[in-house]
Structure 1
């Protein structure tokens, strides 16, 4: 990737997005992060990240945020909780995808969730009932990305934990598997997908190989 271009990151204020920000900076990447609230701006700037303020739900603000220096890739981890009202899961990601098309970025990585789309079969009924509205929004965002013409990778993590990375994170195209994974391991997988053509135009479930719940056999995607 062009050393002068940046990676545009949405969702860097917390969770998987924050872990991706750390991972990218450790790799020496130039990162531009979209923030809706200034709360975490000082911390991100201290990491050497350029912060642009704007709400992903505002299409014009997203376009403005992506203007300027070339953007080699876009990574989005944005989403919401069932109580959040209007969530960014679909509309925010749609705005990011549409803006990414306009700047002709090389890759778009969307962090979604197991339970979205055909991976509904991996979740028990009670989980689907709890997360149903969110998963519908996530599936719409996934489909919009697939239809956009961008080179994409969709990563669907299982149940997320906040402990340090284990190094046991794996990706599979088998949508029927379920399990858990640490947020830091999802971040490491996302950063590896940036560099790997093996992940291009794929929808992948992300799990810790020591925390797989399903009994089904599945192949692990090699990113090498």
Structure 2
């Protein structure tokens, strides 16, 4: 059983990641929250928590808990893209590197590869791009997942994946959460970056095909 620190555990996608990990026979989630008032939501479910604010010093977090891998699903909602989406991610990458984390799974965004080409959300995509590039050069095993537009629809368990896809599309947060958790496995995509949208191929098969390509 591996301990997975979920950064952004109180976000819509982060909550789904925590829920999936809680029912997994392989992983145990640790929810990172910003406030003490957010602890009970997880402690009532028997889920360990740790307090950390990505806008502040977080070097203490890895000292306080036993973490094997990290899922970074945090986001500022477009309000503080540099402080949270970029610099906050870098802080967590540094902390992970200093504690020899086995793998870092980053929730990014389609369009982050070439943010200069974006017609909207350019600052957000630039911040995500910078964080992704920082992770790539960190010497940590990583997977960067770049979904299309996120929806709150029920997941269908099927995706289309590419490096890149060269097409736009949407995907449910539930399906994104399942992709993030599946990439935590040792035989899943490593030192890899890919885009996903809803599709016709089962998530497991799509990721297996990607690993074998």
- The runs of 5 or more residues in structure 2 that have no matched partner are 201-205
3-state SS of 2:77 partner: coil
Q: Residue 153 of structure 1: which of 143, 157, 163 is its match?
A: 143
CA contact (8 A) 1:170 1:189 kept: no
Q: Does the aligned pair in 2 maintain the 1:16–1:77 contact within 8 Å?
A: yes
> When the two structures are superposed, what TM-score results if normalisation uses the length of structure 2?
0.87
Q: Which residue of 1 aligns with 2:84?
A: 88
**Corresponding residue for 1:77?**
73
Change (3 A) 1:200 1:47: same
Unaligned runs of 5+ in 1: 211-219
2:56 is aligned to: 58
Would you say the 8 A contact 1:90–1:141 is kept in 2?
yes
Partner of 2:177: 187
Q: Which deviations, in whole Å up to 9, do the C-alpha atoms of 1:131-186 show, x marking residues without a partner?
A: 00011100000000000000000000100011222111343222423210000100
Change (3 A) 1:200 1:85: closer
Q: Paired residue for 1:130?
A: 120
Contact (CA 8 Å) 1:155, 1:206: kept in 2 or not? yes
RMSD over equivalenced CA pairs, Å: 2.3
Q: Partner residue of 2:20?
A: 23
Partner of 2:30: 32
Conservation of the 8 A alpha-carbon contact between 2:34 and 2:53: yes
In the alignment, is residue 200 of structure 1 matched against residue 190 of structure 2?
A: yes
Q: Deviation of residue 41 (structure 1)? A: 2.1
Change (3 A) 1:112 1:25: same
Q: CA deviation at 1:63?
A: 1.9
**Superposition pairs for residues 108-127 of structure 1, below 5 Å?**
108-118=104-114, 120=115
The alignment covers a number of residue pairs equal to 205
